[in-house]
Amino acid sequence: MGLNFANKISASHVDWRKNIMKVRLAAETLSSSTADALEALNCLNVSEFKNVEETIKFIRTIDRLFDFLNTRSPFGKGFKKPLYQNNVEKQKGIILPLIKYLLKLTDVKGIPISSTPRKTFVIG
């Protein structure tokens, strides 16, 4: 069995200083395929990828929020489904827990991210 974990853009080939604030790079990095790869590596007991459950949860949360905020097609399904008057309550039930999760994130000192100078990604 052969596995190849790769994205179109390799982290070693990206000059992050030139690409700061590029949403496309963030969306590719924080995607469900990245979370799937981390889960697979964890299941394969690769020592560098143990205890990645919280990282996977974070990545999936951001991916779902990207999908929700980037809805373009009126035929989207799941997190890509557009917001209509008749599905507002259902969508709120999906999105509000994701927002609450982000608001509960803390830095290494235990201070909520939403209260630090880096709060923009949570509040913005």
Flag whether the pTM goes above 0.75. no
Q: pLDDT for 76-121, tens place per residue? A: 777 777 888 888 888 888 889 999 999 999 988 999 988 888 777 7
Q: So what's the pLDDT on residue 3?
A: 56
Q: Which of 121, 102, 97 is nearest to 112 (CA)?
A: 102
The strand ranges marked E within 13-67 are none
Q: pLDDT for 19-44, tens place per residue? A: 666 777 778 888 999 999 999 999 99
CA 72 remoteness from chain centre: 19
